[in-house]
Structure 1
Amino acid sequence: MAIEADEYVGKANVQYDDWTGTAAADSSDMAGLTESLKKIGFDTDRWSVIGIEIYQADLNKDGLYIIALDRTAMQRAGHKTLDEYSSANGGELPVTNFLVHGVPTVDLIASSFKRFAVNLVARHVPRDTPLHIVSRDDINYSGL
């Protein structure tokens, strides 16, 4: 059941922001994400996915959110492009933030994107200081 909200999608943040950074992803097409969402009952005919939010505070809880635009509302308002719709809404796009239940975040990422990258840097590193990688090595995981 949807509830009304009044917030904005912005830069990622958590309680203390001890680590901050950027993320990027490639998809050769959106078919992977669309098919994954269809399998979990998301109405891809009505909703256009325009963002993804990953927020994991507890590994035993869901933390994947789909940010989607209601195409039917946009069409009912007579707009054909996101620019038109945004202009008619004071420069904003009205979206719905869907919490995805029961799908491991890594599974949706793996089935949706060709490449996915997240870079985080510790808070104590001076802002905008380049990190120059001068060597590479491996760490073998054998369980914690």
Structure 2
Amino acid sequence: MTTEIFKASVQYNDWKGSSAADSADQKGPSTWLKENGHINDGEFLLGVKMFAGENHGVHEDPVFVEFLIATSGNFENIKTMIEGSAGPIEVRRVRIDMDLSQFIGLFKRFDVTLSRNSMLEGLEYHYDD
């Protein structure tokens, strides 16, 4: 059994930031997983991790996607279980190679911010148009 921390990290971490995504109205990650036989009834998609590399000036698909799935429950009881846990959370991991456009297409909107050594993270900024 492997234990990891759910946090983005690459070899040198020169650029760090945050991300946010809106659920798709029609066919989001959970629906895609179910339609492709990767998630069962009663399971709950808890997390998604995507890695792209080794890029050397040009991206070449695929990207590597991990879906972290709670094997039983719903949002409320899994949230309660996580809040009451003192140790690692038990999940089932599904690893899929996807085209980048297919991965981004699982979300309605997708936003990523990166700044050198996290220098801008959480700061206000302004600029002239």
TM-score range, shorter chain: 0.7 to 0.9
Q: Which residue of 2 aligns with 1:6?
A: 3
Runs of 4+ in 1 over 4 A off after TM superposition: 28-31, 124-129
**1:10-38 alpha-carbon deviations (Å, 9 max, x no partner):** 3x111111111110011255752222222
CA RMSD of aligned residues (A): 3.0
Q: CA separation of 1:67/1:134 partners in 2, compared to 1, >3 Å: closer, same or farther? A: farther
The share of aligned pairs that are identical, in percent, is 24
Q: CA separation of 1:19/1:42 partners in 2, compared to 1, >3 Å: closer, same or farther? A: same
TM-score normalised by structure 1 residue count = 0.66
Relative contact order higher in (CA < 8 Å, ≥ 6 apart): 2
Report matched runs for 1:94-133 at 5 Å.
94-101=90-97, 103-110=98-105, 112-123=106-117, 125=119, 129-133=123-127
Answer whether contact 2:20 2:110 (CA < 8 A) is retained.
yes
Report matched runs for 1:11-50 at 5 Å.
12-27=8-23, 31-50=27-46
Unaligned runs of 5+ in 1: 136-144
Higher helix share: 1
Answer whether contact 2:115 2:121 (CA < 8 A) is retained.
no
Answer whether contact 1:68 1:95 (CA < 8 A) is retained.
yes
**Which of 134, 137, 142 does residue 128 from structure 2 map onto?**
134
Q: Radius of gyration: which is bigger? A: 1
What is the deviation of 1:94?
1.4
Unaligned runs of 5+ in 2: 55-59
TM-score normalised by structure 2 residue count = 0.72
Matched length: 123
Answer whether contact 1:25 1:116 (CA < 8 A) is retained.
yes
